[in-house]
Amino acid sequence: MLLSSSVTAQVIIKERVEIEPLKIPVSNNPTFNIDTSICNKFEYDPEIIVTDGDDKTYSVWYGDCSAIGFGGYNDCIHFDFNDDYWIVTIEEGFEYVQPRTSFLDCDGPYSDEGENFYIDYNYCLHLVFNKQGPGNMAQVKIKFANSTKVAHYSFEVYRPLFHITPTDTIELMEYGDYEVVDNYEVLNQCNTYWPWLPDTVSIIKEIIQGNEYCQLWNSNTNQYGTTFIGGGIYIVANGIRSEQDEEVIIRISTSESGIEPINLQYKVRPVELEITAIPSVLAPGDTATIIIQKKYQDGTIEDFPEWQGFEIAKVEGCALGEILVGGESGAYFYDVLQPIQFVVDSIAENGTVKLQIGVPKSPSFGTRPVKQKNTNTNQTNLADKQKQRQQTPPAENPILYCSAEIFESLLNNDFYLEVGDGCDKPEWACPVSIKRPKIDVKEINMSNCLEDEKNDIKSLCTGKYGFFHPIYDGPFWEPQFTVEPYFDSVKGIWQLNYNSDPIYIRAYTVFCPECVPESGIIRSLDDVWNKIPEDKLCKALEDFELQKKYGVDVEFIIEEQVMAHERLHKTDFFTAIAKTVYYYPENDVDKYNTTLLDTKYKCKDAPNYDVAIDKIQVYLDNVYQEFQKDLKKVYTFITGKDETIENETYETVSHDLYEVQSIIQDYIDEINNRIISINKSRTEELKIKCN
């Protein structure tokens, strides 16, 4: 059957919760050379007894410390005194050290002292090297003296220099999994944890590749996003279900500019549930065994391990029977082992039972059937379960079932059992495995756009160097794609098999030459050498630097960076499509991934193929119109803008990303190379000199 659609498009997102981009404070501390030869200098007791005639040198770490050291390391110096008094003088390096005294008890409270002070055996003295940070090393010299005695102590104060190192090479995840992002360590130049990173330095975790497949989840604030600061951050494989292993990269960095960031690699492996029932068609009083397996994209089917628990809920056909696990029956079970059965009521009428079956990621303690909605027993079970799940990324789309429970498993499938006489016919059955619809974006170039009066882009180019714009006010889908209806005897409904190329959504990705004269459009690195006049090189260099910021007016524009910026919006549009298909709206999990595949028509609604075709034509038109509206809302939510409103913050954040900034830097480097090349053959007075 050939179906066509020319509906107008719209969009909405159940938030992929792209929260306000984080503003990361970056320190201005310089980077120092790492000297590991100092690492054997610190392992001794930091307590010093002041003794007449001493002239000793110690090595210490710069930074905050405990009262008398940590793990035996000399992080705080503690002085003890015999029955004597002393005049203490900081002879050198007072800017690096804070003397602190306490009366009798060396555990405080403490008083800060100056460069010269009196102390006797009734007091304890600590030196804390936490004031001004040294370069690689600084000297602190202290003299203790009284009428008859003198002692000198010198301290080499070393700055701890930190680096981040991964603890695993690649983390393998399956769709629906989540893992805490902790497979790295922050160590100092001695490859030890102490002294550890100061509290003033933030750890930043950011998805820099593959955010269409995963998000970060902040368990402290219950937010999703791509960048978070601090601990309790998880990676959740909740994005597009790809047909192959996909790489996701998380960058671990800090607010300390001298610490090099690292990239953590994750692989997201696509997997689905393969669910069957024996028998597939049930009569009143029958019992079916439900078999749950993994199915990979290459068609491989694999058994789950024996210890794998499952979540199962009865969604429709509540009166037709009960789920049976380990001798207990109910409408909902969480973290139960196979075998799982369904028992049809002995007086059940014909109908369809819809089950939802998933793989939970927060195992509970034992089987908890829920037989009714409101009993004291069920309330206790619900409280236990919610307590057990508190460290699990929350379900984005909670649904009420035949029980009071909320289904949480991200990796899940609907499964149908037919009770009574089936109406499936061999000639209506699909002869091949089902093909799910693929949705892609088709970029429309400028010449094609201008031929369509309804979608004239001239006005969109006004005051812009480029734009990405989904076509909502013209033909939304490519005009034709083919689907084949067939009857699924297991689910008892008509389904759709997509036998064509992807369903394309039309959108513009356009560079606007109207905004800049042709002489000012730099389309390649070759143009840097061949198109820019020598007397304009400094102006072009200035313009290239300005383009690091969004929304500047220049004489020379880099076309490649404009298009890179706009294609970042295309990536967000892909994200909006995935969110719309899989996660929108809240009260309808997997809405379009299901409705684009499964119709609502049972055999009684469409008793033959011809009737099914007629009903499905109307059905798909309605589905596509609704999808268009939802998608527009989704994309608007992600970007914070629509056709008339530009979100400057969103545009600025997009422009600041590496994909754009690296291109601009390449052009800056190239124009500097040209200037250097020209200057090699010129005298000093004739050289090109740019401010």
More confident residue, 479 or 489: 489
For 661-668, the CB contacts below 8 A with 24+ separation are 661/548, 663/558, 663/560, 663/561, 663/564, 664/544, 664/547, 664/548, 664/558, 664/561, 666/525, 667/522, 667/525, 667/528, 667/544, 667/558, 667/560, 667/561, 668/541, 668/544, 668/545
The arithmetic mean of pLDDT across residues 42-71, rounded, is: 71
pLDDT, position 463: 60
The arithmetic mean of pLDDT across residues 100-125, rounded, is: 85
Measured from the Cβ of residue 479, the count of other Cβ atoms closer than 10 Å reads 9
Give yes or no for residue 71 having a pLDDT over 50: no
Residues 157-195: pLDDT tens digits? 888 888 888 887 777 777 777 788 888 888 887 877 777
* 36-158 and 162-269 share one fold: yes
User: Whole-number mean pLDDT of the chain?
Assistant: 75
Report DSSP state, residue 565. Answer: H
Residue in this structure with the two tokens 């649904």, named with its chain if needed: 399
* Residue from 237, 255, 217 nearest 27 by CA: 255
Give yes or no for residue 266 having a pLDDT over 70: yes
pLDDT, position 297: 75
Residue in this structure with the two tokens 């929108």, named with its chain if needed: 584
Domain boundaries defined on the chain: 36-158, 162-269, 284-411, 432-675
91 — pLDDT class (breaks 50, 70, 90): very high
The number of residues making up the chain comes to: 691
Strand partners, 484: 497
How far apart CA 293 and CA 276 sit, in angstroms, is 9
Residues 536-593: pLDDT tens digits? 999 999 999 999 998 888 899 999 999 889 888 888 888 888 777 766 555 454 566 6
Least trusted range by pLDDT, from 28-32, 45-49, 217-221, 544-548: 28-32
Give yes or no for residue 1 having a pLDDT over 50: no
Q: 585: cis peptide before it, omega within 30°?
A: yes
Give yes or no for residue 223 having a pLDDT over 50: yes
Residues 349-399: pLDDT tens digits? 777 888 889 887 543 323 333 323 233 333 333 334 333 333 444 444 444
146 — pLDDT class (breaks 50, 70, 90): very high
Q: 270: cis peptide before it, omega within 30°?
A: no
How far apart CA 544 and CA 557 sit, in angstroms, is 7
On whether the CB atoms of residues 351 and 334 are closer than 8 A, the answer is: no
The arithmetic mean of pLDDT across residues 459-463, rounded, is: 60
Instruction: Specify whether domain 36-158 bears CATH 2.60.40.
Output: yes
Give the tokens for residue 446.
Answer: 């400028």
Say if residue 71 is exposed, middle or buried (CB neighbours under 10 Å; 0-12, 13-18, 19+): exposed
Residue 364 φ then ψ, to 5°:
-100, -175
pLDDT, position 533: 93
pLDDT, position 684: 86
Q: 109: cis peptide before it, omega within 30°?
A: yes
Give the tokens for residue 334.
Answer: 């969480």
Give the tokens for residue 653.
Answer: 């954040």
User: How far does Cα 149 stand from its chain's mean position?
Assistant: 64
Residue burial 642-680, b: 16+ Cβ < 10 Å; e: rest: eeeeeeeebbebbbeeeebeebbebbbebbeebbeeeee
The arithmetic mean of pLDDT across residues 214-239, rounded, is: 86
pLDDT, position 584: 57
Percent of the chain with pLDDT over 90: 17
Please report the sign of the dihedral spanned by the C-alpha atoms of residue 535, residue 538, residue 539, residue 544: positive
User: In this structure, what is the dihedral angle of CA atoms 98, 102, 108, 112, given to the nearest 10 degrees?
Assistant: -30
pLDDT, position 245: 81
pLDDT, position 669: 93
Instruction: Specify whether domain 162-269 bears CATH 2.60.40.10.
Output: yes
pLDDT, position 449: 39
